[in-house]
């Protein structure tokens, strides 16, 4: 998976930075919360139409997503609450970025980008939800192209180079196709299992 490849590539960079932040007294959960707050602040910048600046700032804030997990491992391993907090705040930041884009386009007459952004938000939530529900059933469900890393890269590049409208189409369609892919995957994994009693 592309996400795993990125982790390997940046492992030697992220590790020392995470250890430095740990020596400064930061906890992994604190880093997760800080990254979320900064990303929400960047979404406000995006909502004002300063897309290129927002894209550049997102490069910095998304680094927290790699650092908090690495810092958790450096400090003895991720806790159950830490993993839960990270997952919830990831959904907050994903939604905030696209909401910022939608907010800007809502002020532009005759545009459909705000609807595409809404479709991408819902699709992103469903991509994560299908994985969470599958894993609750003890089924690994990492299939599909538009995982969080890919979605983040698409929106950052689009903001910087000025291709936001095509990117919204890609995200809106891609997240829903990934959701369907995961539903089919779970169906294939469960169709030979005995039915559960009740609903």
The CATH number for 67's domain is: 1.20.120.1760
Tell me, yes or no, whether 198 lies in a domain. no
Helix 63-74 vs helix 51-61: crossing angle, to nearest 10 = 10
Q: Is residue 125 exposed (0-12), middle (13-18) or buried (19+ Cβ within 10 Å)?
A: middle
The answer to whether residue 197 sits within a structural domain is no
On whether residue 161 sits in a domain, the answer given is yes
195 located within any domain: no
Within the chain, residue ranges assigned H as helices are 2-23, 28-47, 51-61, 63-74, 80-106, 113-136, 148-161, 164-190
The answer to whether 90 touches 69, Cβ cutoff 8 Å, is: no
User: What is the span of the domain harbouring residue 108?
Assistant: 2-190
**160, part of any domain:** yes
Residue 19 lies in a domain: yes
Q: What is the DSSP letter of 141?
A: -
DSSP code for 197: S
Catalytic residue among 65, 68, 86, 90: 90
Please report the pLDDT score of residue 4 as a whole number: 56
Is residue 40 in some structural domain?
A: yes
Residue carrying structure tokens 């950052």: 156
**Predicted local confidence at residue 32, as pLDDT:** 87
Query: Residue 120: what pLDDT?
Result: 96
Which of left, alpha, beta for 198 (phi over 0: left; psi -120 to 50: alpha)?
left
Q: Which residues of the chain have pLDDT under 70?
A: 1-16, 18, 21, 77, 110, 193-199
Which pLDDT value is given to residue 158?
Answer: 97
pLDDT for the residue 138: 92
Q: How many beta carbons lie within 10 A of that of residue 32, not counting itself?
A: 25
Residue 196 lies in a domain: no
- Structural domain count, the chain: 1
Among candidate residues 105, 18, 107, 110, the one with its CA nearest the CA of residue 68: 18
CA distance 169 to 151: 12
Q: In whole angstroms, what is the distance from residue 111 CA to residue 165 CA?
A: 10
65 catalytic residue (yes or no): no
Contact 160, 52 (CB under 8 A): yes
């Amino acid at each position: 998976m592309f996400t795993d490849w990125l982790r390997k590539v940046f492992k030697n960079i992220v590790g020392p930075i995470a250890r430095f932040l740990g020596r400064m007294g930061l906890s992994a959960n604190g880093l997760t919360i800080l990254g979320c707050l900064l990303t929400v602040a960047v979404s406000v910048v995006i909502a004002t139409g300063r897309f290129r600046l927002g894209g550049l700032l997102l490069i910095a804030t998304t680094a927290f997503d790699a650092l908090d997990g690495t810092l958790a491992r450096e400090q003895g391993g991720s806790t159950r609450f830490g993993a839960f907090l990270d997952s919830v705040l990831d959904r907050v930041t994903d939604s905030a970025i696209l909401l910022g884009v939608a907010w800007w386009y809502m002020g532009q007459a005759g545009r459909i980008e705000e609807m595409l952004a809404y479709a991408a938000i819902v699709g992103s939530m469903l991509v994560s939800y299908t994985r969470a529900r599958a894993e609750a059933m003890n089924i690994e469900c990492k299939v599909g192209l538009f995982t969080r890393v890919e979605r983040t890269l698409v929106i950052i590049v689009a903001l910087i180079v000025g291709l936001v409208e095509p990117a919204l189409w890609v995200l809106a369609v891609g997240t829903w196709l990934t959701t369907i892919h995961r539903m089919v995957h779970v169906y294939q994994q469960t169709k030979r299992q005995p039915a559960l009693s009740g609903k």
